[in-house]
Structure 1
Amino acid sequence: MPEKNLEYYLTKYQLYRIFPQHYIKHLQLDFYDKGQAICQQGEKLKYLFYFIEGQVKIVRRLFNGKEHILETQSRPTLIGDIELMSNQDSVSSVIALEPSLVIQLPLTNRDQFYQDPLFLYQIGRQLAQKLEQQNIISSTNISYSVKERLATHILANEVAGDFQLQPSVLSDAFGTSYRHLIRVIRELLDQEIIEKIAFKSYRIRKRQILTELTIKD
């Protein structure tokens, strides 16, 4: 459960820049446990979410019934902005991979949002940033090796040298096979660039070498 109140998180993540002042009183701080769906593909969106802490996976169910993991996310981001602006049901499911915190804005009066230029500007900025990120991810998956993508992912998500890996999720997000990703992880372990400290938990041992493996701008 959240250890701090809503105001603490609004200040910490500078969310006053995203949500205009007159919406603050409607915001809700909520907690999602591991495996719980923040939103489900095909369902009507009841909230605009701002994911702030934890880790989630974004999953798209395909026409053949299979599910494809579009990405995993551990950094703060808006959820539901595409659906709000296109006035459609959820285009994907967002599932908590670990206990996660979100701030929710009830979508009880969408017409009010559509007539608010400041709010629309902030939503537009967030969508533009997501589009840029998706372009980077797409080109990265084509242009770089799994090892380079894995090293970049590790350094982007480590905390004081420690990080977690979920190969079944990452292999889908990287567009590679589970077996190949496991081989790459094993190679980093054998070279003592990283070490395993617990189930799915690892620690960086040779940061300089790992940095040299990352994707360069």
Structure 2
Amino acid sequence: MLKTAYQRSPKQKLAKNTPFFNETDLKHSFIIDFENQEFIHHQAEPLNYLFYLIKGKAKILKTERNGRQSIVQFLTTGDLIGDLTLVQAETITKDVIALGETCCLAVPLAYAETVLKNKVLFMQQLSHYLGKKMIQRVDHFTTNQTYELSYRLAELLLVAANHEDVYKEKHTEIAEYLGVSYRHLIYTFKQFRERGFIQKQGTAYHINRLALHSFVQKMKS
């Protein structure tokens, strides 16, 4: 992790023109770089920042009391981390892990609570964002019920692969996330390898982004 004050960071341009923060807000913020598989936040620990992804991807994981982990959501550029904590809708935070090199704008939560929550425009933008997030989660469950696994897996690979097009997720967690059996998932991975959509690289996969994107578009039409 590399943390730099916004005003001293060479990556200021990445944080410009966000829908949530103005220049004054940015001056109170930091830009933090995370390596692949590095924790952006640990479950149940106090949240110190409201994060805004300005580059890269991440995933949210929930760990149950028995140690079992479940993927809650994949995050991409433009997503927030800590939004539910800010509006007091979530009291117990979850694990957030970077997928590939990821860069976040980090606004101190104390500033967000005392300043941002009193700004009408910020709260309007946050409400709009939370509404879109809710619709996305509903769409996820609807898609799991109406589309075949090949389509859903192709979409997931495009989202979950890092900036180098490398995908490395646990089959057990993905099977649960997609609502299918482990056996069905493995069979579909085998089909994707045969079709040239993915290539095995050790314990990971390198995805053919163009082929997968074309496949998804064809399935939609």
With the shorter chain as reference, the TM-score category is 0.7 to 0.9
TM-score by length of 2: 0.80
Match of 2:114 in 1: 111
Q: Unaligned 5+ residue runs, structure 2?
A: 4-8
Q: Which amino acid counterpart does residue 176 of structure 2 have in structure 1?
A: D
Quick check: 1:6 aligned with 2:8? no
Match of 1:196 in 2: 199
Quick check: 1:101 aligned with 2:103? yes
Q: Contact 2:99 / 2:162 at 8 angstroms: preserved in 1?
A: no
How many corresponding residue pairs?
210
CA spacing shift, 1:202–1:134, aligned 2, 3 Å: same
Q: Which amino acid counterpart does residue 77 of structure 1 have in structure 2?
A: D
TM-score by length of 1: 0.81
2:30 to 28, 38, 41: 28
1:69 CA drift (Å)? 1.0
Work out the percentage of aligned pairs sharing the same amino acid: 23
Q: Which amino acid counterpart does residue 172 of structure 1 have in structure 2?
A: E
- Secondary structure, counterpart of 2:31 in structure 1: strand
Over residues 80-114 of structure 1, what are the superposed CA-to-partner deviations in whole Å (9 max), with x where a residue is unaligned? 11110117544321112322111100112423232
Give the Cα separation in 2 of the matches to 1:208 and 1:37: 29
1:74 to 62, 76, 82: 76
Give the Cα separation in 2 of the matches to 1:167 and 1:36: 14
Q: Which amino acid counterpart does residue 96 of structure 1 have in structure 2?
A: A
Give the Cα separation in 2 of the matches to 1:126 and 1:20: 17
1:202 CA drift (Å)? 2.5
CA spacing shift, 1:87–1:68, aligned 2, 3 Å: closer
- Secondary structure, counterpart of 1:147 in structure 2: helix
Q: Unaligned 5+ residue runs, structure 1?
A: none
Q: CA RMSD in A?
A: 2.9
